[in-house]
Structure 1
């Protein structure tokens, strides 16, 4: 490994995923993808409720830094609540 700071690689900042629950309107997903520095990714997730215990499903998620992921999660919840009229 080189001691020269110009050639040393800095560790990448870890990324966090915010799972998008099934049923979130596409308009909200697209809005978040445009407003925030996130990538929409597919992620396998085991489900643990009702008759789907242990089933693995492909879900969508927003991937970004922890700070951005926290803002995205809050924004998504607020927008879904507005959408359903709560």
Structure 2
């Protein structure tokens, strides 16, 4: 797992927009205004879209392909050596 899990501009922006949308939708649900609830839902979904677009633009966490075969073999050897 990467050390910056979730600490990227894309993650923060998407989460904040979705949180605001959730708050808007919740507030309008309490006052029984369906249009506001739908607007809050749309804003929440917009947070996911914006976060995804920002990640695609390079502002998100990079994908990790895991260990290479050589790294895995070295890890296994070190692990076996440490436990023998």
What TM bracket, shorter-length normalisation? under 0.3
Higher gyration radius (CA): 2
Which protein has the bigger helix share? 2
Which protein has the bigger strand share? 1
